[in-house]
Structure 1
Amino acid sequence: MAYQHTIRHHVYNFQDLKTVLAKASPFRSGDALAELAAHTYEERVAAQMTLANISLNVFLREAIIPYERDEVTRLIIDSHDASAFSVIQHFTVGEFRNWLLSDTTNAAMLHAVSPGITPEMAAAVSKLMRNQDLIAVAQKCEVVTQFRNTLGLKGRFSTRLQPNHPTDDPRGIAASMLDGLLYGSGDAVIGINPATDSPSAVTKLLHMMDALRQQFDIPTQSCVLCHVTLALEVMQRQAPVDLVFQSIGGTEKTNQSFGISLSLLHEAYEAALSLQRGTVGNNVMYFETGQGSSLSAQAHEGVDQQTCEARAYAVARKFKPLLVNSVVGFIGPEYLYDGKQITRAALEDHFCAKLLGLPMGVDVCYTNHAEADQDDMDNLVTLLGVAGCNFIMGVPGADDIMLNYQSTSFHDALYVRQVLGLRPAPEFEAWLMQQGLMDAYGKMLPPQASHRLLKEMKV
């Protein structure tokens, strides 16, 4: 279906819904690279005004990637909850924005309507929002998940302790883990990106983290971020897998480029559930996403990168994950050019994921060739803390020496908790207090030289 809007006697024509979505996106380098971006600011405004007047029902009738050739589209359509959608079915995208921002729309209402919102609806309404709108609505959402602790509660702010090492050296990894734990990091997960993606290397790391967790009775979960097929293999070998990780995308072709399908993810999900390793819950999946992944794989199907990203959340939502995060600035300036674009993308990703009912975190990061620096990351992590982001990364010195990109440090997470009055996951917080590392007011305490962690960890 074609759309048009007139501004100052100039008629802007948009050939279909996919084009309206692309042209309405705030400018970013990836959409320009794909030749999908609006050519002028006025054209972008025309697309946004057109989008504001489109009924939400249109998104159920007009698939931006055909149902017949894309299994992500089929998942979105086949899993749509018509009953939940009935609350908002009479809205246009603009009216949906007003409803989301209304003082009378609360967390319970957003939770109830979430299964009726498609990723394209979420992406569309985000394109009509200022940054403060994205923050205000996301802050209303509460998405709680559980495995060995409880994540996502209001007033809580968690971290993934990321002790990566360029050679997977156990002592180097242990040193980073010790550093992070002493700063109160690691309640979301202790997650390692392995330098060597082999069954023996992954199994060794899994046993190392599990032994540490059991030795000190740490109420958290571990993950080696290997490919899902490798996770299946080591699970068959009885390795101690808590969470199954996988990078995912918003089109079938993107997921094929990652070597996955929905059926493969389902197999891994069922295998992880069968291990029954959780103590307070059974959310067993960990997904990572990022704007630009579909375009970089030449698998975007002519869809703008932010809408592709939102579609990846439909894949994540199907498997009830413990954690999802957008590695927002990792792909590089070809997709998100500078700090401003990275900030906007992160707030969009967090908003859309929370609206769709996902436990969303963000890897607040950039590559060294992007027009961004740590001040941009300081600004963004503060905004995300206000927005109710579930977790961020905790990387020694904010510099990942294995993946070669800049992220957030253990100190950054402490800063957000302190200035916004946020606390770790409740079970992890109780453990920190029991260890004498945190006082009753949430302040981290310096460990004594005789502390058990310092004496017994093999660093």
Structure 2
Amino acid sequence: MLRTEAAHTLAVMGKYSVLLGGQRHSFSDLKTVLACASPQRSGDSLAGLAAESNEQRVAARYVLADIPLKTFLNEAIVPYEDDEVTRLIVDSHDAEAFGPVSHMTVGQFRDWLLSYDATTERLIRLAPGLTPEMVAAVSKIMRNHDLIAVAAKCRVVTAFRSTIGLPGRLASRLQPNHPTDDPAGIAGSTLDGLMFGMGDAVIGINPATDNVQACVTLIDMLDRLRQRFDIPTQSCVLSHVTTSIAAIERGAPLDLVFQSIAGTEAANRGFGIDLAVLAEAQEAALSLKRGTVGDNVMYFETGQGAALSAGAHRGVDQQTVETRAYAVARAFKPLLVNTVVGFIGPEYLYDSKQIIRAGLEDHFCAKLLGVPMGVDVCYTNHAEADQDDMDTLMFLLVSAGTNFLITVPGSDDVMLNYQSLAYHDVVSLRHLFNKPPAPEFEAWLGRMGMLDEAGHLPPPDAAAPAARRFLEYQD
């Protein structure tokens, strides 16, 4: 617990007040406590929500630690009446699942999460009883080590043609973007990634243009490639959800529906979506019945700062409003969710310290809520970060049990102009941590002659038979 003799209880000092170091710190409401308790980051400063000093930040954490978890069920930080994300959170709350921790404060919840009693099985059962605000709150009083230790106990397993999130596995998204959506260029990058064993989570393209015909062309190309080599994975063209719906109506062989989401109704409107259109897309994709080992058909992307950049954060700090997006994701049983942790820019996460912390927060909060979270370990070139910092984050996330990581050719996305992880980064992580890809995909790599006797992926030039088959591919 975050408690000392110098910190009076809330009952003595008022609802959201504390006496610390001889000075009283008072906070007007729950939303303010959450914002001031957040680790320092540029986005909250930009929004005028950050703590004014480190002392105020520590005081807010003392206050937060003493708040009962039940408070978050009774005090909405975004009003129920005018926000459908809040209504989703409240109306879908599972009181029975919440029961085992319902008597706890935020600080007691932290201690329990770090205890031996908080087993994987109990955390899975607990997830429907937690709200995003509860989870965001507890993350704010946890060290990076705590976030990793608890997330490593969380497990969220999903499936379509491959099974993602199994213990002891590390999946990857193969991201073969091209600045002009040239199918030949995308196919070349895809084949290159497959020879490194990438793509068991998804082969996912961010299209340079978002129109139905371009989307259908790329979906068709990826599906022909998948069928040609009998690859047990799924593809996705990351167009707007309405474009995917239109592609399905045209008969495109679509596997996953993609959409960026956020934590307020207003921010989602900025993306051109609401919960109803997501439900329509999920129903359309399910109707195709293309999955072989599961039917999780949705893919969502999030990132701290999205709501603030749209002017739709409703006065909520960026980490808490980000966590609310995971309630949206959870409602649609996605195969994959990932945070693009450093993509939005230094206006929201200024440097590597903030990016690393945000990546661990996002992963922890999502997994605790029962969301199948992966991470795009990334940064933009005008942030105070470099590839060494991304190396640090990727190792921390694998220790924390991330479901998947995103990989691009040479760690440099030539279409989106940002830095991510390279194919060989995930190869090295799999070998070092002894975490092979999804089982269906691992078996396929073996059938293709791309694994050595120990089950490791050798350098591409050692996988001569598969390489020849790939290089002979013409379409």
Instruction: Report the TM-score, using the length of structure 1 for normalisation.
Output: 0.99
Name the counterpart of 1:31. Answer: 44
Equivalent in 52, 71, 75 of residue 58 of structure 1: 71
By how many angstroms is 1:186 displaced?
0.2
Name the counterpart of 1:454. Answer: 470
1:183 aligned onto 2:196: yes
CA distance in 2, matches of 1:420, 1:374: 20
Name the counterpart of 1:391. Answer: 404
Name the counterpart of 1:429. Answer: 442
By how many angstroms is 1:340 displaced?
0.5
Contact map agreement 1:367 1:406 (CA 8 A) in 2: yes
1:374 aligned onto 2:387: yes
CA distance in 1, matches of 2:326, 2:465: 45
Name the counterpart of 1:315. Answer: 328
* SS of the residue 2:295 aligns to: coil
Contact map agreement 1:359 1:390 (CA 8 A) in 2: yes
Contact map agreement 2:411 2:420 (CA 8 A) in 1: yes
Equivalent in 312, 335, 355 of residue 299 of structure 1: 312
* SS of the residue 1:361 aligns to: strand
Counting only pairs closer than 5 Å after superposition, residues 36-435 of structure 1 correspond to structure 2 as: 36-435=49-448
CA distance in 2, matches of 1:452, 1:9: 73
By how many angstroms is 1:440 displaced?
4.4
Q: What amino acid maps onto 1:34 in structure 2? A: A
By how many angstroms is 1:421 displaced?
1.1
Contact map agreement 2:18 2:24 (CA 8 A) in 1: yes
Contact map agreement 1:23 1:36 (CA 8 A) in 2: yes
By how many angstroms is 1:452 displaced?
4.7
By how many angstroms is 1:2 displaced?
4.8
By how many angstroms is 1:450 displaced?
7.1
CA distance in 1, matches of 2:242, 2:280: 10
Contact map agreement 1:285 1:322 (CA 8 A) in 2: yes
Q: What amino acid maps onto 2:359 in structure 1? A: A
Contact map agreement 1:2 1:17 (CA 8 A) in 2: no
Q: What amino acid maps onto 2:259 in structure 1? A: Q
Q: What amino acid maps onto 2:463 in structure 1? A: P
The alpha-carbon distance between structure 1 residues 426 and 127, as it changes in their structure 2 partners (threshold 3 A), is same
Q: What amino acid maps onto 2:431 in structure 1? A: Q
Unpaired segments of 5 or more residues in structure 2?
1-13
Contact map agreement 1:206 1:223 (CA 8 A) in 2: yes
By how many angstroms is 1:453 displaced?
2.9
By how many angstroms is 1:419 displaced?
1.2
* SS of the residue 1:288 aligns to: strand
Unpaired segments of 5 or more residues in structure 1?
none
* SS of the residue 2:172 aligns to: strand
Taking every aligned residue pair, what percent have the same amino acid on both sides? 65
* SS of the residue 2:26 aligns to: strand
CA shift digits 1:321-354 (9 cap, x unpaired): 0000000000100000000100000000000000
By how many angstroms is 1:56 displaced?
0.3
By how many angstroms is 1:451 displaced?
4.2
* SS of the residue 2:118 aligns to: coil
Contact map agreement 2:170 2:402 (CA 8 A) in 1: yes
Q: What amino acid maps onto 1:226 in structure 2? A: S
Contact map agreement 1:178 1:457 (CA 8 A) in 2: no
* SS of the residue 1:191 aligns to: strand
Q: What amino acid maps onto 2:117 in structure 1? A: T
* SS of the residue 2:464 aligns to: coil
Name the counterpart of 2:8. Answer: none
The alpha-carbon distance between structure 1 residues 215 and 221, as it changes in their structure 2 partners (threshold 3 A), is same
Contact map agreement 1:178 1:453 (CA 8 A) in 2: no
Alpha-carbon RMSD across the aligned residues, in angstroms, is 1.1
CA distance in 2, matches of 1:129, 1:381: 20
By how many angstroms is 1:455 displaced?
3.9
Contact map agreement 2:195 2:467 (CA 8 A) in 1: no
CA distance in 2, matches of 1:450, 1:275: 31
CA distance in 2, matches of 1:244, 1:415: 30
CA distance in 2, matches of 1:313, 1:212: 32
CA distance in 1, matches of 2:471, 2:421: 27
